[in-house]
Structure 1
Amino acid sequence: MSTFRHAIEARDMDAVDALLAENVVFRSPVAFSPYPGKAITSAILRAVSEVFEDFVYVREIADPEGGHALIFEAKVDGLAITGCDFLTYDDDGKIVDFMVMVRPLRAAEALAREMGARFEAIQAQALSYLERRQQ
């Protein structure tokens, strides 16, 4: 089974999808409310993989309880950004909670702008995913 880090580094978004639980909750660094569900989480991750430039994980910290913190560096609209993906897994090894934190503020604001400009497409992709699953 691929790890989340390996899937992201390989830019294999289908492998990323396979690691998400249906009931995953995504906690964005630029939105107040969390996004529940695999469909919207997958769509957000696909969009952010296009927004981030020169993305690289620089450190991984494992929690004895089974969680992970993956520290990354990237660029957004030419601005350097540092962040951390906090992952919590269920008993089947699927991600059930995905929280992202980023800094500095100017880069976080650029990320918010870039993702905001794509949010209508993100919602449409999530809806399409749900419709395919119902067929």
Structure 2
Amino acid sequence: MQAFRKAVEAGDHDAIAALLAEDVVFTSPVAFRPYPGKAITTAILRGVWRVFEDFRYVRVIEDAGGRDHVLVFTARVGGRTVHGCDMLHLGEDGLIDEFTVMVRPLSAAQALSAAMGEQFARISREAEAAAAAEGSAGAAH
């Protein structure tokens, strides 16, 4: 999952989006229900980029089959230090089809929830615009 890590560390949102399956399911550490679809997942990841400070991956764990990856990270949000991990599953096509994030401690998860809550109207607009653009691009072909 070196390509994903490099894209995140470079802040290359287009490269991140290119690694996501159209039917990716994003599971948030602070939301009850998962978010299905590339447009909303990409928008959420952009929102996270805006709220996390000093984000860095500190370890990568991979299964022997190469389809499951855990990228352990640290960051700060709202003055709180966050420890977490991105758990990624690759589909048959090599694209990320499951993206689950876990964070700790509780105070950091609460700070993340508040910060992302402030971002969510923008995230929703970005996801709707991306889905509309994808729909019109698909119709043009």
Residue 91 of structure 1, CA deviation: 1.6
| Normalised TM-score (structure 2) | 0.93
Residue 2 of structure 1, CA deviation: 6.3
In structure 2, relative to structure 1, the CA distance for the partners of 1:2 and 1:82 (3 Å cut) is closer
CA contact (8 A) 1:19 1:94 kept: yes
Residue 4 of structure 1, CA deviation: 0.7
**In structure 2, what is the equivalent of residue 87 of structure 1?**
88
**In structure 1, what is the equivalent of residue 69 of structure 2?**
68
**In structure 2, what is the equivalent of residue 113 of structure 1?**
114
Segments of structure 1 that go 5 or more residues without pairing to the other structure are none
Residue 40 of structure 1, CA deviation: 0.2
CA contact (8 A) 1:2 1:15 kept: no
CA distance, structure 1, for counterparts of residue 3 and residue 93 of structure 2 = 13
CA distance, structure 2, for counterparts of residue 121 and residue 83 of structure 1 = 24
Residue 110 of structure 2 aligns to a residue in which SS?
A: helix
**In structure 2, what is the equivalent of residue 36 of structure 1?**
36
Residue 133 of structure 1, CA deviation: 1.2
Moved over 6 A (4+): none
Residue 29 of structure 2 aligns to a residue in which SS?
A: coil
| Normalised TM-score (structure 1) | 0.97
| Number of residue pairs matched by the alignment | 135
CA distance, structure 2, for counterparts of residue 99 and residue 86 of structure 1 = 5
CA contact (8 A) 1:82 1:104 kept: yes
**In structure 1, what is the equivalent of residue 139 of structure 2?**
none
CA distance, structure 2, for counterparts of residue 134 and residue 23 of structure 1 = 14
Q: Aligned AA for 1:101?
A: M
**In structure 2, what is the equivalent of residue 58 of structure 1?**
58
**Coordinate RMSD, CA, aligned:** 1.2
CA distance, structure 1, for counterparts of residue 78 and residue 42 of structure 2 = 22
Segments of structure 2 that go 5 or more residues without pairing to the other structure are 137-141
**In structure 1, what is the equivalent of residue 103 of structure 2?**
102
Residue 36 of structure 1, CA deviation: 0.2
Q: Aligned AA for 1:87?
A: L
